[in-house]
Structure formats: structure tokens, C-alpha cells
Amino acid sequence: MLTPRRNVWPPPPPASESDAERAARIEAEHEAKRVSNAIDESLALEREQRKRPSNAKILLLGQAESGKSTILKNFQLHFAPKAFQAEAEAWRPVIHLNLVRSVNFVLGLLEIRHPSTYSHDQQPTSSDSPLSGHLRRLSLSLAPLRQVEESLSNRIAGSRPPEDISEADRYDPAKASEISLRSGSGWTAFLRFRRGSTSTDRNDKAEEMQTRRILSACAADIMTLWAAPEVQQGLRDREITLQEQSGYFLDEVERICRDDYVPTSDDILRARVHTIGPEEHIINMESTTENVRSWTIYDMGGSTSQQLIWAQFFDSVHVIIFLVPVSAFNETLAENHSVNHLVRVFVLLSVHVLNRPRNFYAQFTTSTGRTLAARTMTASCATMTAPAGFGVVSFISQDGDEMDQLGFIYAKQ
């Protein structure tokens, strides 16, 4: 009767095995073990990758002028820098438009402060002093910029004029206006297409060169106007800080008005375009070290009329970013002057995020440009409890910085 063989691994070496055969066998076993381990690691990595989404979806929320577009551009700059730089040329007319609108805003402010200078029929009042001859000359020399503004607006909006906005938003004596574009217009791709099109290239190039020549010719007068004590005093009297709006470019006139000007990353981050309606942006990762291959970011409009469509996006995203313009703590909504900005924020938080548990994260941008982040109570940040487990963070700087911007980030648990 045969004795059953026992299954043993690894099998015992042959009794007549030589030293050379033994060395070869051990080497083969080591190689087999290495291959087996590599296969196991590959399978484990594949399982882990299947658990992680290849595409992360982010919902970008906040009131108008809360910095949503800036956050979006920072995502593009960080995760897809090559694609971000490829669009630099498309941002040049936007930056030129921001500059021109700021100049025209200043000219409009002078017209409000000195109406008798601009109207031959109106008699000066006791509070109305005539405009100095120097500023009057500057106003006349910069008059062509109104036509430049219209030309740039039409170029950016494509074949259609910029979207109509409410009368309340059309002119605000406290801020320079921004171009408003309907969501889905894809204006950056449109401008790149037009530059590569033979049918429109000649007209577009001539129009662009004409704009550059006018800006170059007006550069010295723009700088003189911006440096005028009367202009700066007028802005202070009305508590207007253009540098926090599109007026940032007024300090960079000489560089921006050069014929060979190419927007820098910082210029693009500060350029302002107001998008009406929800906008979907897909950012394909250019680095292989990231866990996800692409980001899909839904940039939602911040006006009251657009906030009704927010809810339908909540359940299909992985992260919700809610931005708050804390610098507007003493301001009211443009569409409803009886509602305070921050009060409206807390109402939105309680309505739209109720019963949706998220991980909490907050980021602050101070008036001096420092960026701070906090997850829990620290020496600089105080965390307070809000409905449904949400956090509301107030910032107190140890260095005396004023809080300029606060971001709420909520991630699914």
C-alpha cells in the first residue's frame, strides 16, 4: 500500500542535488518570489485605484465677488500649468479691458465731482469746484478709451454683445464695472480660434494692434491721471479702493501697455470676468503624482437669482467650496440694499448645506496677502459650531492683519 504524499511548499530538495543545482534552485525561487510580490503589489494598487475616483468633482459656491474665479484659476495654475500658460494670450484683451474700464471709471468719477466742467448749461454750485486745466486736458486725451472699451467688450464676447445685466449692476459709483458673459460661451477658446482662423485673422490683428497703439499712446496720461492728488482724494472721499477691484492694473500701466506685453500668471489671477450662470470646467492633471486624473469644477453664479439651482449639484460632487467676501461685512447686496452681505451668507449656509455632513476646512487671505489655513482651534483662528455640524471660522491675526477673505471648504466624510 502506497503512503500518500504530503503537499509541502517549497518542495524538499532532491537527495542527489549538487551544490551548483542547489544554487540555481535557490536563485529561481527568489526570482519567483519577486515576481509573485510584484503581481500582488500591482493587484493591490489596482484595487486601491478602483476605490478612488479618477475624476474629482468640486462645487464652487459663494456670493458674487467672493473670489470663485480666482480659486478656479489657482486650480488650473497648480494642476495644469502648461494649459494655463497656453491661455495667457487670450487673457490679454481681458486685462486691457480691466485697465480701460478702471480709467473710464475714474473719468466718470471726475465728471460726477465736477459736473459744471462737463456741462455748459449747468451753473456751478457752492460745492462744485471747476476741474483743473491739467485734469481737463487728461480727460480729453483719454476720451478714445471709451471706444476701446466697447471694442474689447465685443471681442471678448464674440459675435454677441456682452450679456445684459440689471440696471442696479450697470453702474455703481463705488466700483468699476466688469464684463458679464453667459456661461458656456467658452470665450478663451473662442479667442484662440479666431487668432488661428484665416478668414478673421487679418481684421482681428488690425483691431488688436489698433487697441495696443491707443493704449501705448495713452499710457503716460493714464499714469498721470492715476497719480493725481485730486483723483486719489476723490476715491478716498467715496471710500473706493480700486486696487481691490480691476484697478490693480492701474499700478502696472507702463508694463501692460507695452506692445510686447504678455500676461503673467499673477496678471491672469487678478483679471476679472463676471460669468452669468453655472459653468463647468475640466482640468486634466499634468502631474502623474496626483491621485486623480482630472478635476471637474462647477463654478456657480453668485447672484440671488442663480442660487436656486445650487441644490441640484450637491449630491453628485466630492467637495464643496463656499467662499465669503468678508471685506464686504458692512455692505449690502446690489439687488437688495436692505440685506447685508454676511447675513445673506449665513442664510445661504443654513439653507443649502443643512443635513449634509462634511469635513471642514477654512482658508483666509489677509489684507497683506498672507494666506492662512486652519482645521481646528488655533491661536489665530476661533471655530464656532453651526447647524448640521458645519463650522464657521473667524480670523484674528496676531500680527494685526485685517481679514480680507474667508473660504469655507466642505468635503464629504
| Packing angle, helices 88-113 and 145-157, rounded to 10 | 140
269 annotated ligand binder? yes
- Is 275 annotated for ligand binding? yes
Residue 262 annotated as binding site: no
Q: Which residue has the cell 495696443?
A: 212
Contact 383, 391 (CB under 8 A): yes
Q: How many CB atoms lie within 10 A of CB 234?
A: 17
271 is an annotated ligand-binding site residue: yes
Q: What is the DSSP letter of 340?
A: B
* 160 has binding-site annotation: no
Phi-psi region of 335 (alpha: psi -120 to 50; beta: other; left: phi over 0): alpha
CA distances in angstroms from 387 to 204, 318, 329, 350, 370, listed in the order given:
54, 20, 21, 7, 29
- Count of alpha carbons within 13 Å of 294, Cβ hemisphere only? 8
| Residue 273 annotated as lining a ligand binding site | yes
Helices (H), 275-403: 341-352
Say if residue 140 carries a ligand binding annotation. no
For cell 488690425, the residue is 206
Binding-site residues from annotation for Mg(2+) = 275
Binding-site residues from annotation = 269-275
Binding-site residues from annotation for GTP = 269-275
